[in-house]
Amino acid sequence: MVQRPSWDEYFMGIAFAVAQRSTCDRAHVGSIIVRNKRILTTGYNGSPRGLPHCTDAGHLMINGHCVRTLHAEQNAIIQAALHGVSVEGGTIYVTHQPCLTCAKMIINAGLMRVVYAGNYPDENAVAFLKEADVALEHFTWPPQE
C-alpha cells in the first residue's frame, strides 16, 4: 500500500517546487499560503515585476544581503493582496525560516501558522511570531521515513 504524504509534507513539497522559480541563486526560497487545505497563493524570491532579476543583472548587495529581490513570503502575501484573496487564519509553508521583515508581514496579514524547513538565524523573527501567537513549526525536509 502506498503511504500518502501528510498535509504538511504535501504542502512543503509544493513550496520546494515553487522555490525552483527563484531568480536569486543566493537562496532558492519558495512559499505557499494555505487555508482549509486549499492553496491560496504562492511566492518565490525574485525581483519586482518588470525589473531585472539577479540571474540577468547580478546581485545588488547591501550589508551582506541581496536587496534586488523580494522574499518568497512577501511575494505570496502581495499576490494575495493583488488578487483580493484574504489569507487571514491561514498557514504559510516556507522552505526557509522567515526573516524579521517577513515575520512582521506574516503577523499583519493575519496568518496563524508558519511551517518552515531550512534555518535562517533570526532570533527577532522568532520572538515576534511567538509574541503575536503565530505558531512557528520547524519541519524536517525531506520527511523521515
Question: If 0-12 CB within 10 Å is exposed, 13-18 middle and 19+ buried, where does residue 56 land?
Answer: exposed
Q: Are 34 and 91 in contact (CB under 8 A)?
A: yes
Q: In what order do the strands lie in the sheet with 30-35?
A: 38-44, 30-35, 91-96, 113-118, 135-138
Q: Which of 73, 88, 123, 137 is catalytic?
A: 73
**Catalytic residue flag (residue 123):** no
Backbone angles phi, psi at 118, to 5 degrees: -80, 150
Catalytic positions are 73
